[in-house]
Amino acid sequence: MSDLVRGIGDDAAVLKSAAAGHDLVVTTDLLIEEIDFQLNTTEPHSLGYKALAVSLSDIAAMGARPRWGMLSIGVPEAVWKSKTLEDFYQGYFQLARRYGVTLIGGDVSRTPDKIVIDSFVIGETAEAGAVFRSGARAGDQIFVTGFLGDAAAGLRLLARGARPHRDTTPDLRQTDDAHSIDRLLLRQLQPEPRVGWGLQIGTQKLATAMIDLSDGLSSDLNHLCTESKVGALVDAARIPIDPLVVELSGRRALDPLMLALHGGEDFELLFTVAPDDVGKLPKRVDGVPLTRIGEIKPATEGINISEGSRTWKLEPGGWEHFKG
């Protein structure tokens, strides 16, 4: 694919229009120092990586393929002269290369004292078009990719002083504490956007509605249900919580279910599938499993969660980031 007519270096970047039948998908995410990240817990490399990851997650949630990125970054004088910017771009490009995203432009400015980053990504849908939040119907089954609560657990570990070990490749087979903690920290610091899952769902139009879990399951399921004008029933026992989170939570007085329901930034995908299509779903994509956690209900029933014989209303409790 070589649809780039002109990249960085002119007044604007120029793209050949997409092939007929393929729509464009565009998203932007603003990251502000001291609001969205803290420099004392976030390496520049991770910051660059995450700036792109959150936008790729949005593109995946539309069932689209990410293609082009633009990056605006404002940094104070001291950072400008340091190695920070170089490390930041290395993190960005590490993820960009993996998913074939080309940086086509952006803007760089100085700031009085804080770092600000705005990442813009353009993607392309399959011929089936984008998957919206608004298509869920009563009877559809609700699925999530991966495990929930990891990023929130990682954030709490960071707040308690934990830092990732350098030169450590997180390995699922490792079970010792340091490696386990590293894996949770990286889920917060370098979240993995579910690009492969998004493409599978988009290409085969397997989902009736989809959203990425950036605010938390409770908030994002509410967003999807509001847009689709439906209710939902989630089975608490089916929510995929990482055994690591359960284990660490027990020792650190955290409630794993609360982390999984209300903790944000897991960047997993939540989608709804018509009963007839459930059998067509792959079990895993890129090694990431899929779990059915509930069912879409009529709007009149509201959004609820059942735990054993009890059922209660699932109120949005995630982190609201005021996204326009």
Q: Which of 203, 201, 214, 320 is nearest to 272 (CA)?
A: 201
Among 18, 85, 128, 162, binds a copy of itself (CB under 8 A): 18
Nearer residue to a copy of itself within complex by CB, 104 or 248: 104
Residue 64, interface with a copy of itself (CB under 8 A)?
A: yes
Residue 110, interface with a copy of itself (CB under 8 A)?
A: yes
Residue 180 near residue 244, CB atoms below 8 Å? yes
> What is the distance between the alpha carbons of residues 87 and 85, in angstroms, rounded to a whole number?
5
DSSP assignment, residue 10? B
Residue 1, interface with a copy of itself (CB under 8 A)?
A: no
To the nearest whole angstrom, how small is the minimum distance from the Cβ of residue 167 to a copy of itself? 31
Applying CB under 8 A, the site for a copy of itself has a residue count of 72
To the nearest whole angstrom, how small is the minimum distance from the Cβ of residue 242 to a copy of itself? 24
Nearer residue to a copy of itself within complex by CB, 61 or 185: 61
Q: Which stretch binds a copy of itself (CB under 8 A): 39-47, 94-102, 122-130, 272-280?
A: 122-130
Nearer residue to a copy of itself within complex by CB, 18 or 258: 18
To the nearest whole angstrom, how small is the minimum distance from the Cβ of residue 244 to a copy of itself? 28
* Residue 223 burial (CB count, 10 A): 17
Residue 39, interface with a copy of itself (CB under 8 A)?
A: no
Residue 69, interface with a copy of itself (CB under 8 A)?
A: no
DSSP sequence for 70-126: EEEEEEEHHHHHSSHHHHHHHHHHHHHHHTTPEEEEEEEEEESS--EEEEEEEEEE-
152-171 residues near a copy of itself, rule: CB under 8 A: none
